[in-house]
Chain A
Amino acid sequence: DVKVTQSSRYLVKRTGEKVFLECVQDMDHENMFWYRQDPGLGLRLIYFSYDVKMKEKGDIPEGYSVSREKKERFSLILESASTNQTSMYLCASSKTGLPEAFFGQGTRLTVV
């Protein structure tokens, strides 16, 4: 069974903290994505990567950075967490040439 695994289901952090969200996929997919999901706004793309050490900005990259040192792992970093980054974060992966995305279970991040 294919799998995308996010390191935490729930996370509570303080304003100003550096936050790491980890995502691992076991499908040998080239592409990996980070989205945030907010009520009424749908899924918004933060960053994506189509190869190791490659990254592309999505629609809302401000306040975030990413790291992809290995093909199976894609990390989202909040350099200095703020309350407006409280959200559901979803990681996904896909194979180049195929449109289907496979999602992790999500990380619900609360910044207080």
Chain B
Amino acid sequence: TQLLEQSPQFLSIQEGENLTVYCNSSSVFSSLQWYRQEPGEGPVLLVTVVTGGEVKKLKRLTFQFGDARKDSSLHITAAQPGDTGLYLCAGDPQTGANNLFFGTGTRLTVIP
């Protein structure tokens, strides 16, 4: 099993603050996805990053894939209560298999 470690595990911030969530591994991935999961629901895909060093922006969310394709970060600018949820990173290994390896998640709470 290829381990993806996310940090921090929990994060509670005030509305309007910025934050960064990290996803690290010792393994190389073909691509990496970020998902957000709200309580009682399944994860929903936010973005896929494929190229080492790639940066993608989704409104106030900025995703970066590490140069070596072993790590990724998610930065949220001016967090809003609607950003509250569990953020999961998932890596697609270079094995040709069709399954993803998921991180343990970062639970974000944005306080109004």
Q: A-side interface residues toward B, CB under 8 Å?
A: 4, 9, 30-31, 33, 35, 40-43, 45, 48, 50, 58-59, 90, 92, 94, 96, 99-106, 108
Contact = CB atoms under 8 A, between A and B. Distances in A.
A99 to B, nearest CB: 4
Contacts of B103: 42
A9 B98 CA distance: 26
Contacts of A58: 99
B42 A99 contact: no
Nearest to A41: B104
A99 B30 contact: yes
A31 B98 contact: yes
Contacts of A106: 40-42
Interface residues of B, number: 22
Contacts, number: 55
A43 B89 CA distance: 11
Contacts of A40: 104
Interface of B: 1, 30-31, 33, 35, 40-45, 48, 88, 90, 92, 98-100, 102-105
20 contacts: A33-B99, A35-B102, A43-B88, A43-B102, A45-B99, A48-B98, A94-B98, A96-B98, A99-B100, A101-B33, A101-B45, A101-B90, A101-B100, A102-B45, A103-B35, A103-B44, A105-B42, A106-B40, A106-B42, A108-B40
A4 B42 contact: yes
Contacts of B43: 43, 90, 101, 103
B46 to A, nearest CB: 10
Contact of A48 (B30, B41, B99): B99
Given A42-B103, A106-B40, 16 more contacts: A31-B98, A31-B99, A33-B99, A42-B102, A42-B104, A43-B43, A45-B99, A48-B98, A48-B99, A94-B98, A101-B43, A103-B42, A103-B43, A103-B44, A106-B42, A108-B40
